[in-house]
Structure 1
Amino acid sequence: MSAGISARLDRISTGGRYLIVPMDHGITMGAVTGLKQLEATVDGVTSGGADAVLTQKGVADRVHGNTNGSGYIVHVNGSTTIGPDENDKRLTCTVEEAIRAGADAVSFHINVGSNYEPKQIEELAEITGEAERFGIPVLAMAYARGPGIQGDEPEALGHAVRLAEELGADIVKTGYSGDAESFQHVCESTSLPIVIAGGSKGTDAETVEMVRGAMDAGAAGVSMGRSIFQHDTPEAITRAVSAVVHDDHDAEDALSAAGLTVEA
C-alpha cells in the first residue's frame, strides 16, 4: 500500500474503523428526504461522528464546509430507480475528476452476478489502476445481485467481497447476511476491511443491532445511507452507530448514549 493511500484511508476512518454515510442517492432516487437540505444533513452526521460522507461529484461544493473535519468520498458510477434497470450502473466520474472535487477516496458499485457484471469488472479494474497511480483509495460497493441470487446469502456475499480484493480495492462494502455467525464467513473471505450497507430504513434498534452483529463477526464498520440520513435526527442515530463502531458499545447502551428511545 502506498503512503498516499494509507494517509487517505486515515482521513476516512478512525483507528482502522469506518463510519461512512453515503448520500449519492440523489442520482438514484431523486431529492428524497434528507437530501434536499444536503448541507444540514452533512453537518449533522459528521457532528454525530461520521468518519466520512459520500456523494456524486456534482454536489461536492455543498459538502465542503459542512464536514466538520471528516473525510469525503466521491462515487464514480450510478443509475436510477426509474431507468430500465437499476443494476446497470454507468460511470459518472473519473478518479482525476474526483480528486479535483476534493475527494479523499473514490467508490464504485458492482453488482456481482448481474447481467452487467462483466463490464463492471472491467471498469472496477480500470478504476483501481487509475486510483493506484494517484495514491487514492478505492471503496468497492460489491453486492451479490442478479438472477437467482439471494443477496443476503453468505457464500454469495463472500464471493462478492473476494472479487473486490482480487480487483485491487482497498475497502469493500456489501450487504449483511442477517446474523453475526453467518457474516463471519463473509469477513473471512477477504483481507480487506469490510463495511456493511444499511439497506432500507428500519427501527433504531434494528439498525444498531445489525451494526453490533456485523462488528462481532469481524467487520470494520458501516457505510449506511438511508438508515442515517433519513432519520428524524441524523446526528443522534449517527452517534448511536458510532458508539458501536468506535466505542464497542452494545446496542442498548449505544441507543441510550445517543439519547434515543430503547424499544421494549
Structure 2
Amino acid sequence: MDVGITARLERISTGGRYLVVPMDHGITLGPVKGLVDLETTVDAITRGGADAVLTQKGVARRVHPKKNGKGYIVHLNGSTVIGPDSNDKRLTGSVEEALRVGADAVSFHMNVGSEFEPDQMTQLGELTEKAHRFGLPVLAMNYARGQDIDSQDAENLAHAVRLAEELGADVVKTSYTGEAETFERVCEATRLPVVIAGGSRGTDRQTIEMVRGAMDGGAAGVSMGRSIFQHDDPEAITRAVSAVIHRDADTETALHEAGLGLEA
C-alpha cells in the first residue's frame, strides 16, 4: 500500500480500529438536531474518543477548529429525503476539493442493487483511481438497497463489501446484519476493514450491543452518525462506543464507564 494512504489511514483510525462519526446529514435531512451547532457537536465527539469526523466540503471551516487533532473525511456524493429518490446519490465534490479543505480521506456512498448502481459503480471506480494518485484513502459506503433487496441479508452485504474492494476502496462501510454470527460472513467476504453504519437512533443499550455484536463478528469499527451526534450527550455515547472498539469492553462496562449504565 502507498505510504501516503497508510499514513492517512492512521490519521482516521487507532491501531487499525475505526470510530468515524459521519455528519454529512445536513444535505440529506437538513439542519437536524446535532448539526445546527456543528462546532459544539464536533468538539464533544472528538473529546469523547472519535477517531475522525466526516462532513461535506462546505462545512470544513467549521470542523477544523473543533476536531481536537482528530482525522477528517470529506464525503463526495449525496441526496435529499425530499427529492425524487434518496438512493440517487449525486456527486457533490472532487478529490482536489477535498484536499484543499484539509481532508485525510474521502468517502462515497453506493447503493448496490438499486437502479443507480451502474453509475455509482463507475464513479466509485474512477474516484479510487484518482484519490490514490494523491495518496488519499477512500471509504466506500456500500449498502444493499433497491427494489426487493433485503438490506440486512448477509449475502447481499457480503457482495456489497466485496464490490468495494474490487473497485479499489481502502475501508468499507455497510449495514449490520443484526447478529455477530451472520455478520462474520460479511467480514469474511473482503480483506478490507469493515465498519458498520449506525442507522436510526435506538436506546443507548441497543447502540452499544450493536457495536459489540459487530466487533464480535469481525468488524473493524463503526461509522455511526445519528446515534452519536443526535444523542443528548454526544461525548458520553462516543466514550461508550470507543470503549468497545478500542478497549474491547463489554456492553455493561462501556455503558457504566460512560455514565450511561442506568438506562433501561
> 2:232 aligns to what SS in structure 1?
coil
* 1:102-181 equivalence runs, <5 A: 102-181=102-181
TM-score by length of 1: 0.99
Question: Partner residue of 2:47?
Answer: 47
Letter in 2 for 1:201: R
Give how far 1:241 is off.
Answer: 0.1
Q: Is the 8 A contact 2:252 2:261 kept in 1?
A: no
Runs of 4+ in structure 1 over 4 Å off = none
Q: Using the alignment, how far apart are the partners of 1:80 and 1:207 within structure 2?
A: 25
Q: Is the 8 A contact 1:252 1:262 kept in 2?
A: no
Question: Partner residue of 1:93?
Answer: 93
Q: Cα RMSD between the aligned structures?
A: 0.6
> 1:65 aligns to what SS in structure 2?
helix
Return 5+ residue gaps in structure 1 as ranges. Answer: none
TM-score by length of 2: 0.99
Q: Is the 8 A contact 2:108 2:140 kept in 1?
A: yes
> 2:19 aligns to what SS in structure 1?
strand
Question: Partner residue of 1:208?
Answer: 208
Give how far 1:21 is off.
Answer: 0.1
> 2:139 aligns to what SS in structure 1?
strand
Give how far 1:262 is off.
Answer: 3.7
Q: Using the alignment, how far apart are the partners of 1:65 and 1:33 within structure 2?
A: 20
Letter in 2 for 1:11: R
Question: Partner residue of 1:219?
Answer: 219
Question: Partner residue of 1:16?
Answer: 16
Letter in 1 for 2:35: L
Letter in 2 for 1:115: E
Q: Is the 8 A contact 1:205 1:262 kept in 2?
A: no
Letter in 2 for 1:259: G
Q: Using the alignment, how far apart are the partners of 2:126 and 2:57 within structure 1?
A: 19
Is 1:235 the counterpart of 2:226 in the alignment?
no
Return 5+ residue gaps in structure 2 as ranges. Answer: none
Letter in 1 for 2:54: L
> 1:33 aligns to what SS in structure 2?
coil
> 1:107 aligns to what SS in structure 2?
strand
Q: Is the 8 A contact 2:196 2:214 kept in 1?
A: yes
Give how far 1:261 is off.
Answer: 2.8
Deviations 1:25-74 (A, max 9, x none): 00000000000000000000000000000000000000011011100000
Q: Using the alignment, how far apart are the partners of 1:132 and 1:53 within structure 2?
A: 21
Give how far 1:233 is off.
Answer: 0.2
Letter in 2 for 1:71: G
Deviations 1:201-244 (A, max 9, x none): 00000000000000001100000000000000000000000000
Question: Partner residue of 1:34?
Answer: 34
> 2:214 aligns to what SS in structure 1?
helix
Q: Using the alignment, how far apart are the partners of 1:20 and 1:80 within structure 2?
A: 22
Note closer, same or farther for the CA distance 1:262–1:183 as it changes in structure 2 (3 Å cut): farther
Give how far 1:263 is off.
Answer: 3.7
